[in-house]
Amino acid sequence: MVLDTRVINKLNLYNNNMFRFSLLFFLLVFSLIPAYSQTAKETSNNNSKVGLLLIDAQKEALLGNIDKAITKYEAIIKNYPDCGVAYFELANISNNKGLVYQSISYLKKAYQVDSLNSQLCINIGRTYDMLGNKIKANEFYQKANKFSVKK
């Protein structure tokens, strides 16, 4: 049986949408848990409120509303400047848009908030690696290695 191109495209669209909705459902389920990810550590005030705001911003990003997501992450940062997750997500969005230097800027801000996060150090190292700055990349890779050994 040979499938028509339109049928294949519809199946691909259906699969993409199912993945997005599954991921969205997963995020919503975790919003019901009081201690939402590392945000609880990062913000001592209104932990659940920040978690819900982050989920709302992530939902917009997953649905493809990138400008809305950026606006929501920036609002989170304005109200909760110690929320490293918001900086990290803005770095990911910037990187996906090809704005590597802006991505590094956000990653550095996230690092200022959470300098013991080994995954963050790895991502900063990878970004510097992409830019060809091997010295800076190795500096952050070594930091990541140091933090992961301590655990």
Q: Which tokens in the block code for residue 66? A: 């990138």
> 147 vs 65, which has greater pLDDT?
65
Cα 2 to Cα 122: distance, rounded to the nearest angstrom: 46
Q: Which of 45, 47, 25, 21 is nearest to 36 (CA)?
A: 47
Q: Which helix (H) or strand (E) holds 7?
A: helix 5-31
Q: Which tokens in the block code for residue 86? A: 């918001």
Residue 126 identity = R
Q: Among 32-41, 102-111, 142-151, where is mean pLDDT lowest?
A: 32-41
> 23 vs 110, which has greater pLDDT?
110
- Give CA angle at 50 (118, 37), nearest 5°: 40
Report residue 70's pLDDT band, with 50, 70 and 90 as the boundaries.
very high
Q: Is 21 left (phi over 0), alpha (psi -120 to 50) or beta?
A: alpha
| Mean pLDDT in residue range 29-55 | 56
Tens of pLDDT, residues 85-129: 899 999 989 888 888 889 889 988 998 988 888 888 888 888 888
Q: What is the pTM of this model?
A: 0.65
Instruction: Find the farthest-apart pair of alpha carbons in the chain and give their distance in angstroms, rounded.
Output: 59
Length of the chain: 151
